[in-house]
Amino acid sequence: MLVMTLVLAAVGFALLVVALMTGSVLWAWGCILVCVAGAVLLLVSALASRKAGPPSAAAAAKPEAGEPTRDDAPQDSPSDLPSDPGDSGSDSTQG
């Protein structure tokens, strides 16, 4: 719907340019009608999106099918991580 509004605005601008170049009132009225139609379409689109509203927090929190959840995600524990073979685990200093 927004694309149609942009198209109507471009057509209205083109009609305005033609009306100014020719000096014809008929083209100017065409410009006005097209711009009013675009404004109505934009208003209808805005009201429709407001009526739909933002998604609820519960719907936004639910993962889609096939997406991993926190329970499904692999968890690395310290024992699963590779250790350095030269690391003995003690804090020794050379010197």
Per residue in 59-91, pLDDT tens?
A: 556 656 666 656 555 565 556 556 666 656 566
Find the DSSP H helices in the chain: 2-22, 25-52, 57-61
Q: 57 lies in a domain?
A: no
pLDDT at 49: 87
Range of the domain at 14: 2-50
Q: 82 lies in a domain?
A: no
Number of domains present in the structure of the chain: 1
Q: Give 12: exposed, middle or buried? Use CB within 10 Å, 0-12, 13-18, 19+.
A: buried
pLDDT at 95: 55
Q: 35 lies in a domain?
A: yes
Question: What's the pLDDT tens digit per position in 18-60?
Answer: 999 999 999 999 999 999 999 999 999 999 988 877 666 555 5
